[in-house]
Amino acid sequence: MLLLMASGLDQVTAFSATAATLNNMGPGLGQVSEHFGGINDFAKWVLLVAMLLGRLEIFTLLVVLTPAFWKR
């Protein structure tokens, strides 16, 4: 959300876009209420990473990346 706000989006748009991409919940508020075409390219890349993390389940990914998981 902070990266999106730093790229020029307002707080409502940044929060709803982050929530929509991480949780795969669909529509957002503000500038992304209709589509994500109106936001800048940097924000789209940030949201792309958030969407991948949401699809891969962040906690599962963190567990796979910990050394203790691979010691077994």
The pair of structure tokens assigned to 45 is 């890349």
Structural domain including 49 reads 2-71
**How far is 20 from 40, CA to CA, in rounded Å?**
17
pLDDT digits (tens, 9 = 90+) for 17-64: 888 888 877 777 887 877 888 888 999 999 888 888 887 777 887 888
**How far is 1 from 17, CA to CA, in rounded Å?**
8
Tell me the pTM: 0.70
The pair of structure tokens assigned to 34 is 């209709």
Work out how many domains the chain is built from and give that number: 1
**How far is 72 from 28, CA to CA, in rounded Å?**
42
